[in-house]
Structures are given as structure tokens and as C-alpha cells.
Structure 1
């Protein structure tokens, strides 16, 4: 449900109760969505994976490359294969 900021301030306990029973409650200011009130259970569910590694960390945690792969990567030219594009 959407709540205008002033209404959310005036009825905070109702906003919190609805967040607990009906799900996240959106607060708007000047017609724009600005905040969401949600239960702590929903918040915990959304943030529980914060210890998950980044995509780069995930890639780097894979199996080690064989020596010939390192050699192939290092053998490649370090200059770009195409000229830069001017916009």
C-alpha cells in the first residue's frame, strides 16, 4: 500500500502493523516513492546473503588454471585489437 508521508507520520503504528500483516508499505513524498516500511523478518530475508561473495570473488575462487593457460594469457598482445571509437 502507498502512504503519503504526512499520513504515514500520523499513522505510524498502523503502517507498521500493515507491514507486519500485509507486507511492505511504500511511503511517498510529493508523489514520488521515497521509503518502504517492512517487517524485520522481510528485511532479514532480503539481507541474509550480504556475506555472499561478489561476482569477481566467485570467479576467482574457482579451480586453478593449468600452467599452459597462464602462458597463453600472458602471451597475448597487451594492446587493443581495434582502434578506439570517437563519439
Structure 2
């Protein structure tokens, strides 16, 4: 992983992003300490589980295909609002 000092990362941000896409994660340091990592959107989606669409997520639900799903409702009185 290539390391970039904060000032250099700011000055050459477009190159930093390009390298993250082409070469993988890029580390950013501040005062010699690692503070952040820039990754491509593709890698971020893969690591965070965001690859699936909402439709795929809903189809994978344990409730998918059940037409008679009933959700309970709290029938208690609303709270009083005091001003």
C-alpha cells in the first residue's frame, strides 16, 4: 500500500484517487501516523456488502413470498405533550 502525507494527498488528490482505483488502497498519514485509507468504490462496495441491489435484498428476506404478513401495532395512547 502506498503512503501519502496529508499535504501531498491534498495537492495531488486526483492522482491519489486514480491510484486507489488502479493499484489498490492508498494510505494517508498526518505527522507520521496513519489516519485514513482511500479505496476504490468497487472495493468499498465489496467490503461493506453494498454490492446487492435493494430488490435483491428484499428477495432474500425471510418474509419474501409471504402474502399474509401482519405487523403488530402499539395501540397505547400517545404521550402527552407539555409546553
**TM-score normalised by the chain length of structure 1:** 0.55
Runs of 4+, deviation exceeding 4 Å:
none
How far, CA to CA, are the matches of 1:45 and 1:34 in structure 2?
22
Larger Rg: 1
Does residue 41 (structure 1) correspond to residue 42 (structure 2)? The answer is: yes
Pairing of 1:3-42 with structure 2 (within 5 A):
3-42=4-43
Q: How many residues align?
A: 49
> Which segments of 5 or more consecutive residues in structure 1 lack a partner in the other structure?
50-87
- Root-mean-square deviation (CA), in Å? 1.0
**TM-score normalised by the chain length of structure 2:** 0.58
Tell me the secondary structure at the aligned position of residue 15 of structure 1. Answer: helix
